[in-house]
Amino acid sequence: MKQIILPGEKIADGKLRVSHTFTDGDSTYAAVLGFLDEDRFMPLEGPYQPRQDDVIVGIVIGVRSAGYEIDINTPYGAFVQSRDLRIRLQAGDIVMAQIYGGGKEEAKLTQVRRLPAGKIVHFQPMKIPRLIGKKSSMINLIKEGTGGEIIVGNNGYIWISENCNVPKALEALEIIQQKAHQSGLTDEIAALLK
Partner 1 sequence: MNMEEIKLLKDGKRLDGRALDELRTIRIEAGVLNQADGSALVEWGKNKVVCGVFKPGECIPRHEASPYEALLKVRYTMSPFASLEEHGRSGPSRRSTELSKVIREVFENVVLTEEFPGAQIQIYIDVLQADGGTRVAAITAASVALANAGIPMRDMVAAVAVGKIDGRLAVDLGKDEDNFGQSDTPVAIAHRTSEFLLLQMDGQLTREELMQATAMALEATEEVHAKQKEALLQYYEKGKRGELQL
Residue 18 near partner 1 by CB under 8 A: no
Sole window of 53-61, 78-86, 115-123, 147-155 interacting with partner 1 (rule: CB under 8 A): 115-123
Q: Closer to partner 1 at the Cβ: 10 or 15?
A: 10
Residue 179 near partner 1 by CB under 8 A: yes
Q: Which of 63, 79, 181, 190 lies at the binding interface for partner 1 (CB under 8 A)?
A: 181
Q: Closer to partner 1 at the Cβ: 85 or 188?
A: 188
Q: Which of 12, 18, 31, 59 lies at the binding interface for partner 1 (CB under 8 A)?
A: 31
Q: Which of 12, 32, 115, 141 lies at the binding interface for partner 1 (CB under 8 A)?
A: 32
Q: Closer to partner 1 at the Cβ: 12 or 31?
A: 31
Asked if residue 127 lies in contact with residue 177, where contact means CB atoms within 8 angstroms, the answer is yes
Where does this chain bind partner 1 (CB under 8 A)?
Answer: 4, 6-10, 20, 22, 24, 29, 31-33, 43-47, 49, 75-77, 104-105, 119-124, 126, 170, 173-175, 177-179, 181-182
